[in-house]
Amino acid sequence: MNQAVSAFLSGHGFAQHMDIEAVAKGMLFDMANGLSGKKSDEDMIRTWSNPPKNKVKSKSVIVIDAGGTNFRSCLVSFDADGNASISEMEKTKMPGVEKELSRKEFFDKFAENLEHLKNKSDSIGFCFSYPMEITKDGDGILLGFSKEVKAPEVVGAQIGKSLADALVEHGWNRPKSIKLLNDTVAALLAGAAANTGNVYSSYIGLILGTGLNAAYLQPVIEGNPDFKQPQIVVCESGKFNRVLQSDFDKAVDAKTVKPGTFWMEKSCSGAYLGPISYQALTAAAKEGFISEKAAAKILSLESLTLIEVDQFLHAPYNAESTIGKILAENGKDSDYEFVFGVLDAIVERSARYAAAILFSAVIQTGAGADPTKPVCILCNGTTYHKTYKIADRVKGYLEELLTRQRGLYWDIIAVDNDITLGAAIAGTI
Chunk the chain into consecutive blocks of 10 residues (it has 429) and report each block's average pLDDT, rounded to whole numbers.
92 96 98 96 94 90 86 95 94 87 94 96 92 91 78 92 97 96 94 91 96 96 94 96 96 93 95 97 98 98 97 97 98 96 98 98 98 97 96 98 98 94 93
Instruction: Provide the pLDDT for residue 1.
Output: 60
Instruction: Provide the pLDDT for residue 146.
Output: 63
Nearest to 238 by CA among 20, 43, 390, 71: 43
Instruction: Provide the pLDDT for residue 148.
Output: 66
Q: Enter the pTM of the model.
A: 0.90
36 by Cβ neighbours in 10 Å (0-12 / 13-18 / 19+) ranks as middle
